[in-house]
Every structure is written in C-alpha cells, then in structure tokens.
Structure 1
Amino acid sequence: MAVTDPLLGHGRQIIVREEWLRLTEEPVLEPGLPIVDPHHHLWQRGADSYLLPELLADTGSGHDIRATIFVQCGEMYRAAGPVEERSLGETEFVTGVAAASASGRHGPTRACAGIIGMVDLTVGDKVDALLDAHRAAAGGRFRGIRNRTAWHPSPEVTTNLVAPPPGPLENPAFAQGARRLAGHGLPLDVWCYHTQLPHVIALARAVPELTIVVDHVGGPLGIGPFVAKQAEVFAEWKQRMLALAALPNVVVKLGGLAMYVTGFDFHRRPQPPGSQALADTWRPYIETCIESFGAGRCMFESNFPVDKGMCSYAVLWNAFKRLAAGAGAAEKTALFSGTAMRVYGLERLPAALSVDLAAA
C-alpha cells in the first residue's frame, strides 16, 4: 500500500520536524533524577540522520541522562561476507560511537554504554560463535540481541525498513537459539505487536532461563485493521500483558507509544503535545504495566529518534516523570535507571566503561 501521509517517511516512521517540536517547550521536571535511557537508535540517512551529535543534543536538553543503550536497527551492516556475520558491522559502528562518547569530549552522558545487536537466533550452531564475535567487537559493551520479529499480515502495519518474514517467534529454531543466548547470560529484546504476544508468552515459558525484554509496552496497534478499535485492542493487549507479567523472566520497556503504529495522532496537530497530554493519553498502558510487572521489571525508554516524530525528548521524559509521580524513591530509581542497569548488566561493565549513577 502506497504511503499517502506526507508526515511519514522511511518505514512509515513519522518525519522529525525540529521547528515544529520547538513550538512546545516546558521546564524539566525533577532535573536531578538520574536516567539510563535503555532504548534508542542511530542511523545515517541524509537529512534524517541520527548520530552522536543529534543524540547528545536530545539527551542534553535538561534531564540527567547518565547513559544510553543502543538497540539494533539494521544500520551499517557489512557490505560483504557471510550473511549471518554482516550485522557485526552495526556493532562495530556503534562501538566507535560509544568510544567517542566515553572520551569525555562530548559531555558527561555515556552514549551507547550498552549495545543490543543482531544475531539471527535461527542459525543453529552458529549462534554461539556469532555472539562471541559481537562481544569481541563491542569491547565489553555487548549487552544482548534483538531479531526482526514485528510482523502483521496487513500491508498497512509495519515499522521496519526491511520487512521481516512472518513467523520467527514461533519457529522452533528460534527457541533453540534463545536457549543458546541464555547460556551466554544475555537478554533478548523482542519488538512485536500485541497480536504476537501469545508467541512471546510461549517463548518465555519454553525458555524460562532467558530474560525477555518486551519492547514498547507490547506493541498495541491502532492503524490499518485496528483504526477506531482502541478499546477492543486495549482489552486484548491487557489480557496478554497480564499473562506475561505472571512469568518472572519477562521485563517490559515503557515507551514506544509515540510511534505511528499506535494510532495516536499528536504529529498531525498544529502544536506538539505537552507532557501532561502525553501522560494522560498513555496512562492506561503505563499503569497497567507497572501494576502488573512491578517497578523492578519495568524501565522507561525514549525509542528515539522514532518517537521524536510526535514529541521532543525533554517533553517525553517529563511525561514519564508525571506518570511515575506517585512512586516511591526506590520505585523511581528502578523505573528510570535501576531496572535497565540490572537487566543489561551495566553494573558489570569494566571500570573504564562504567556508569556512575551517584555522580552529581
């Protein structure tokens, strides 16, 4: 289906309009609260590039972002060599960005302190060697993997530049690869739509030793066949998320709700949303997750630059802080940094790469 919305760009992602985003500015709430942003991307796409300068402009917009974690997005793959090894190019690329950030010449934020890369879990015996290769390339920063798994039969539902084949989550080889991943002590990020959550439930039950991180609150859909069906989708989504919450090896990222696939239309309004409007809209999803999983299994995420099409970085984190306003100090620490640090093992990074959350 041809894209007709002029505000959509690559992979049906909302185009980032910096001038429009500047129309809504507000004071930063709780500026001293340390944050680890556990989910963002980097890519080079001409005018739409999002590299270290763009990332640091966002993380430096007022909130205390101590560190970030890069998540697989298919960028800078090797142009040649065995197909299953080409994703090493992305890990090498991000490792270079992380090293530049760690030099201290670009400010205090440790960008890409953790790297979630891509290893195809369906390649059998090759998984172990590939994981070792990514770890070696990342210089101690490799913290897990994510495969391309978000899929729906409707051509109107997509969030990937390269459409994945249907079925990787339910492929028996995928579960076998997941067991190998668990043997390396690494978590698996899963980006799927709410229609695929039963597959995630089955995987979590089949590989209980694996920590599974469900991205973007489990992907409730609001486009294509799901337009004007928010109540129906929410009920189905909630039932499946509660089933996931009953499995102790599952963690959830709180964010991604500013993506086009959610069906929210803030990007079409004359002025960007403020944090109160975002918090009010997202509250049912965020509160469901925190109440069912607990703060120790939830982490707020930016999903930038994808979510930047609807709101600015400063406003986004203000919205999260509004949503966590009733939490105690320990719960806030978990939601904004502690869960991410634990799940991705940032406390175990070599001293030269470590993240100091106690620093002023």
Structure 2
Amino acid sequence: MASQRDSWLALTVEEPLEPDLPICDPHHHFWDREGDRYLLDQLSQDLAGGHNIAQTVFIECHSMYRASGPVEMRSVGEVEFVQGVAAQSASGQYGPTEVAAGIVGNANLMLGASVQPVLEALQAASGNRFRGIRFSCAWDASPEVGSPSSNTPGMMLDSRFREGFACLQRLGLSFDALVYHTQLNELADLAAAFPDTATILNHVGRPLGVGPYAGRRDEVFADWQQGIAAVAQRENVVVKLGGFGNLISGHDWHQRATPPTSWEVVETIGPWLTYCIEQFGPQRCMFESNFPVDKASYSYTTVWNAFKQFSRDFSETERAAMFQGTAVRSYLL
C-alpha cells in the first residue's frame, strides 16, 4: 500500500537520465520503525526507477539493535541484521544491484580503548562486508537543531574519544563523520591527528538551515566554505555529495504541493557541490542518496537525475569517480 509520502512523490515523475551510467550508492539505511519501514522491498522499489545502481553501502541508523546483553555490544545486532539483508540481495531475487556490498556499523568511541572488543565483534558479524563505523559527533546548542542526548561540544577533541578512534586504524577500519557545518574545523583537527585513518565526511558537512540558522543561508554558506576548505586539506578525508533532502537543511521542499524536479534541486544544491569538488577534487568526492531520509524531499530517480545534470560538464573520468570509483575505493568494495 502506498504511503502518503509515496503518493506525494508520485506527483513529480521523471525518466532516468543516462540509465547505463554505473553508480555505487554509498549511503542508505534500513529500518523498521512504527509507521515507517524501509527494508529491502522498499529499497528495491526505489532502485526500480531505472538508474544503474551496481552496489550500495549501508550506513548505521540505530536499527535492529540487540534487546539485551552489554549495552556497548547491542549495535552488533544491526550489522547482523544487514548481513542477512545483503545475503537476500545476493540471491538475485531482488534485482541485479549488490545491496549492502559494504556495511558501516556503530560503536561508541567514548569508550576509549575499551571499544576495541566491540569493533572486533562488528567485524565478526560481517567478515566479508563490514568496513567501518559511524559514530555521530553532531552537536549544536540550539534545541531546534537537535543533537543526540549523549553528544557534547568538543567530542572530537576529547582524549577518551581519540583513544577509541585510534582503534580504528589498528583494525583497518574507516570512520564516517556525521557532524554539523559548525564543527568542520574540529573534524579537520581530528583527521590531521590520524592521517592513516580513512575518514568519510557525510552530507557535505551538514550545513544547517533550521532554528537559529534559518534565513541565514549566505552566512551559513560562508562559514561552511571555511570549514570545508580546512577539512579538504587532509588527504585522508573524502566527502559525500548529498544529504540536502534532510529537513535539517531547511530547504523545505517537503512543504510544497508537488516535489521539486531534478533541475530545481540542481539550482539549489549546485553551489555547495561545486565548492566541495573544487576543494576535494572529483577523486575524493562521491554522490550519495541518503535514502530514505532524503525521501522526505524528492524521489530516488529525481536525486540521481539531479547529480547527473549537475555533473554533465565534467570529464568521463571525473564523473566515473564521483558516481562509483571514489565509493568503491573508499569502502574497499
């Protein structure tokens, strides 16, 4: 049965552009929450829109944690769950896409060195697909922005956090960074301290557009540019280009009578994408869907059409990197 959101998205329908262009979608989630389910069936419906999604990477979202056992170990349940979904996909019954070819889990780095057994358990839960962790460091003083209750300002500078972070390098794992644009300088400092740990910046650094940041787009853009430039100096960091459909970005597409077209999306996000690519270079950039979070604002077909239209003047080699190569290299697929 179609949801109200699906009915709204159906008001703007596009044919996929360049349907043969190979894509690795390096950022999507699975969850089963009350009134909100996004599992393999739902992803498969989005993939059926016609883009050539060869592989995907699952990113943690606090889903399917174990109901009991040591608190720090409960996140292992999520990787166990997604390993099973990946096995479903590998049957070929759900289409040709290699879903969850890479899996990124969650572990609490504030445990310090005690996080290592958790990381080892995550690896054991998916020996062939587990690649690293995402541990949110997002923090802002405004309650309108919202931050995880356990997060504190300056987390990435904390000695206990860095003790835990050091375990990633020892185990050959990557770190997906979920921060706000106001924290990018802090992330640059962390990446400089651990130059051998592959770090993947999510959602172009999550420039904020709600709460005290609403109506201040130019000021936010200028602050964000400075932070992005600092992070881009760290060669061990790559960046995901996407995440603009998240309501925290403040674009308010979800409040329209009809969803935006891909051209409308490009007009809004183009300057942010351009600056990231100028700073990082195409070989350190990867387009991402961030589904189903961004499904609040546009369809899966629309967002990939937007990326294709935006990148049409780049070379074939540059586009191949941004649509597939950077993700495959970063997640060792």
**TM-score higher than 0.5 here?**
yes
1:132 to 117, 120, 123: 120
Match of 2:280 in 1: 293
The answer for the alignment partner of 1:207 in structure 2 is 194
Partner of 2:17: 29
Match of 1:66 among 54, 65, 75: 54
1:211, distance to aligned residue in structure 2 (A): 1.3
How many residue pairs match? The answer is 330
Unmatched runs of 5 consecutive residues or more in structure 2: none
Q: Alpha carbon RMSD of aligned pairs, Å?
A: 1.3
The 5 Å alignment of 1:75-224 reads 75-158=63-146, 163-167=149-153, 168-224=155-211
Deviation at 1:46, TM superposition (A): 3.3
**Greater mean alpha carbon deviation, residues 304-313 or residues 123-132:** 123-132
Q: Which amino acid aligns with 2:227?
A: R
SS of residue matched to 1:125: helix
Paired residues for 1:239-254 under 5 Å: 239-254=226-241
What is residue 41 of structure 2 aligned with on the other side?
Answer: 53
Asked if 2 retains the 8 angstrom alpha-carbon contact of 1:149 and 1:164, the reply is no
Supply the AA of the counterpart residue of 2:140: H
CA distance in 1, matches of 2:132, 2:27: 12
In structure 1, give the amino acid aligned to 2:113. Answer: D
Residues 94-152 of structure 1, C-alpha deviations (whole Å, 9 max, x = no match): 11111110111111111111100011122233322222211111131001100121121
Task: Give yes or no for the alignment of 1:226 onto 2:213.
Answer: yes
Residues 19-68 of structure 1: per-residue CA shift (max 9 Å, x gap) = 01001111211100001100001100133110010011111211000111
1:95/1:139 contact within 8 Å kept? no
Distance 1:240 1:125 in 2: 29
Equivalent-residue separation in structure 1 for 2:56 and 2:325 (angstroms): 13
What is the identity, as a one-letter code, of the residue corresponding to 1:223? V
SS class of match (1:169): helix
SS at 1:124 equivalent: helix
Verify the 8 A CA contact 2:208 2:248 in the aligned structure 1: yes
SS at match of 1:156: coil
Q: TM-score, normalised by structure 2?
A: 0.96
- TM-score if structure 1 supplies the norm length? 0.89
Is the CA contact (8 Å cut-off) linking 2:132 and 2:173 kept in structure 1? yes
Aligned counterpart, 1:350: none
CA distance in 1, matches of 2:294, 2:159: 33
Q: How does 1:264-343 map to 2 (within 5 A)?
A: 264-343=251-330
In 2, Cα distance between equivalents of 1:125 and 1:273: 46
| Runs of at least 5 residues in structure 1 that lack an aligned partner in the other structure | 1-14, 347-360
- Alpha-carbon distance in 2 for matches of 1:316, 1:249: 27
Counterpart position of 1:6: none
Partners of 1:124 and 1:234 lie apart in 2 by 34
Q: Which amino acid aligns with 1:272?
A: P
For 1:133 and 1:20, locate their aligned partners in 2 and report how far apart those are by CA, in whole Å.
Answer: 41
Mapped to 1, the partners of 2:151 and 2:226 lie a distance apart of: 26
- Partners in 2 of 1:16 and 1:90 — Cα distance? 28
Quote the Cα distance in structure 1 between the aligned partners of 2:240 and 2:222.
19
**How far apart, CA to CA, are the structure 2 residues paired with 1:293 and 1:49?**
35
How far apart are the structure 2 equivalents of 1:16 and 1:232?
A: 35
Q: What is the SS of the residue equivalent to 2:313?
A: coil
Separation in 2, partners of 1:99, 1:84 = 26
Aligned equivalents of 1:329 and 1:16: distance in 2? 39
Q: Is the 8 A contact 1:146 1:188 kept in 2?
A: yes
Q: SS of the residue aligned with 1:58?
A: helix
Identical columns (%): 49
Letter of the 1:312 counterpart: S
For residues 125 and 189 of structure 1, what CA distance do their matches in structure 2 show? Answer: 19
Match of 1:334, SS state, is helix
How far residue 16 of structure 1 moved from its aligned partner, in angstroms, is: 6.8
Which amino acid letter does the alignment assign opposite residue 91 of structure 1?
V
Asked if 2 retains the 8 angstrom alpha-carbon contact of 1:150 and 1:164, the reply is no
Q: Deviations over 1:227-250 (max 9, x none)?
A: 110000000000110111111111
The 2-side partners of 1:117 and 1:262 are apart by 24
Match of 1:70, SS?
Answer: strand
